[in-house]
A and B are shown apart, each in its own frame.
Chain A
Amino acid sequence: MPRVDADLKLDFKDVLFRPKRSSLKSRSEVDLQRTFTFRNSKQTYTGIPIIAANMDTTGTFEMAKVLSKHTLFTAIHKHYSVEDWKHFSADHPECLQHVAASSGSSNADLEKLCAILQAVPALKYICLDVANGYSEYFVEFVKTVREKFPKHTIMAGNVVTGEMVEELILSGADIIKVGIGPGSVCTTRIKTGVGYPQLSAVIECADSAHGLKGHIISDGGCSCPGDVAKAFGAGADFVMMGGMLAGHDECTGEIIEKNGKKYKLFYGMSSDTAMKKYVGGVAEYRASEGRTVEVPYRGAVENTIRDVLGGLRSTCTYVGAAKLKELSRRTTFIRVTQQSSQMFT
Chain B
Amino acid sequence: MPRIENDIKLDFKDVLLRPKRSTLKSRSEVDLMRSFTFRNSKGSYRGIPIIAANMDTVGTFEMALALHQFTLFTAIHKHYSVDDWSEFASKHPECLESVAVSTGTGDSDFEKISAIVEAVPQLKYICVDVANGYSEHFVHFVKDVRQKFPSHTIMAGNVVTGEMVEELILAGADIIKVGIGPGSVCTTRKKTGVGYPQLSAVIECADAAHGLSGHIISDGGCTCPGDVSKAFGAGADFVMLGGMLAGHSESGGEIIEKNGKKYKLFYGMSSDTAMKKHVGGVADYRASEGKTVEVSYKGPVDETIRDVLGGVRSTCTYVGAGKLKELSRRTTFIRVTQQLNTVFGNC
Binding site for B on A (CB under 8 A): 10, 12, 15-25, 27-28, 203, 206-207, 224-227, 229-230, 233-235, 306-315, 317-320, 328, 331-344
20 A–B pairs (Cβ distance < 8 Å), ordered by A: A10-B4, A16-B194, A18-B5, A18-B194, A21-B134, A23-B135, A28-B285, A229-B194, A234-B2, A311-B191, A318-B132, A333-B3, A333-B4, A335-B5, A335-B7, A335-B8, A336-B9, A339-B189, A344-B184, A344-B295
Q: Distance in Å from the Cβ of B275 to the closest Cβ of chain A?
A: 11
Having A28-B286, A314-B286, one finds 15 other A-B pairs with CB under 8 Å, namely A15-B4, A16-B189, A18-B5, A18-B194, A18-B196, A19-B132, A22-B134, A23-B137, A311-B287, A313-B285, A319-B194, A328-B1, A333-B4, A333-B5, A335-B4
**Is B190 within 8 A of A226, CB to CB?**
yes
- Given the known inter-chain contacts A17-B195, A19-B132, A310-B191, please indicate yes or no for A333 contacting B2, CB distance below 8 A: yes
- Contact partners of A343 in chain B: CB under 8 A: 184, 223, 243
**Is A340 within 8 A of B4, CB to CB?**
no
- Given the known inter-chain contacts A21-B134, A225-B287, A343-B184, please indicate yes or no for A337 contacting B190, CB distance below 8 A: no
A17 to B192, CA, bound (A): 8
- Contact partners of A338 in chain B: CB under 8 A: 11, 13, 197
Q: Could you tell me which residues of chain B, from 159 to 216, have a CB within 8 Å of some CB in chain A?
A: 159-161, 164, 167, 180-197
Q: Distance in Å from the Cβ of B154 to the closest Cβ of chain A?
A: 20
A235 to B7, CA, bound (A): 21
Q: Does B56 contact A (CB under 8 A)?
A: no
Q: Does B283 contact A (CB under 8 A)?
A: yes
**Is B193 within 8 A of A313, CB to CB?**
no
Binding site for A on B (CB under 8 A): 1-11, 13-14, 132, 134-137, 159-161, 164, 167, 180-197, 220-221, 223, 243, 266, 282-289, 291, 293, 295
Please, which residue of chain A has its CB at the minimum distance from the CB of B189? A340
Q: Distance in Å from the Cβ of B202 to the closest Cβ of chain A?
A: 14
In terms of DSSP, what is the predominant structure of the interface of chain B? loop
Partner of B9, one of A12, A318, A335: A335
**Is A225 within 8 A of B192, CB to CB?**
yes
**Is A20 within 8 A of B4, CB to CB?**
no
A337 to B199, CA, bound (A): 12
- Contact partners of A10 in chain B: CB under 8 A: 4
**Is A336 within 8 A of B197, CB to CB?**
yes
**Is A224 within 8 A of B194, CB to CB?**
no
Q: Distance in Å from the Cβ of A5 to the closest Cβ of chain B?
A: 15
Please, which residue of chain A has its CB at the minimum distance from the CB of B197? A336
Task: Give the 3 A-B CB pairs with smallest separation, nearest first.
Answer: A310-B287, A226-B193, A343-B184
- Contact partners of A311 in chain B: CB under 8 A: 191-192, 287, 289
- Contact partners of A235 in chain B: CB under 8 A: 1-2
A203 to B193, CA, bound (A): 16
Q: Distance in Å from the Cβ of A275 to the closest Cβ of chain B?
A: 33
A120 to B190, CA, bound (A): 40
**Is A226 within 8 A of B132, CB to CB?**
no
Please, which residue of chain B has its CB at the minimum distance from the CB of A319? B194
**Is A332 within 8 A of B194, CB to CB?**
no
A183 to B160, CA, bound (A): 32
- Contact partners of A317 in chain B: CB under 8 A: 132, 135
**Is B191 within 8 A of A225, CB to CB?**
yes
- Contact partners of B282 in chain A: CB under 8 A: 310
A25 to B285, CA, bound (A): 14
A19 to B165, CA, bound (A): 12
- Contact partners of A318 in chain B: CB under 8 A: 132, 134, 180, 192, 194
**Is A341 within 8 A of B184, CB to CB?**
yes
Q: Distance in Å from the Cβ of A211 to the closest Cβ of chain B?
A: 11
Q: Distance in Å from the Cβ of B299 to the closest Cβ of chain A?
A: 19
**Is B193 within 8 A of A16, CB to CB?**
yes
Please, which residue of chain B has its CB at the minimum distance from the CB of A340? B189
Q: Distance in Å from the Cβ of B22 to the closest Cβ of chain A?
A: 30
A311 to B183, CA, bound (A): 17
**Is A341 within 8 A of B2, CB to CB?**
no
- Given the known inter-chain contacts A224-B190, A333-B2, A341-B186, please indicate yes or no for A314 contacting B289, CB distance below 8 A: yes
- Contact partners of A328 in chain B: CB under 8 A: 1-2
Partner of A17, one of B164, B194, B220, B291: B194
Q: Distance in Å from the Cβ of A234 to the closest Cβ of chain B?
A: 6
- Contact partners of B187 in chain A: CB under 8 A: 340
**Is A22 within 8 A of B194, CB to CB?**
no
**Is A344 within 8 A of B285, CB to CB?**
no
- Contact partners of B190 in chain A: CB under 8 A: 224-226, 339-340
Partner of A19, one of B5, B7, B180, B186: B180
Partner of A20, one of B9, B13, B134: B134
- Given the known inter-chain contacts A27-B286, A310-B191, A313-B285, please indicate yes or no for A337 contacting B135, CB distance below 8 A: no
**Is A203 within 8 A of B134, CB to CB?**
no
Please, which residue of chain A has its CB at the minimum distance from the CB of B158? A19
Q: Distance in Å from the Cβ of B187 to the closest Cβ of chain A?
A: 7
Q: Distance in Å from the Cβ of A266 to the closest Cβ of chain B?
A: 20
A21 to B165, CA, bound (A): 12
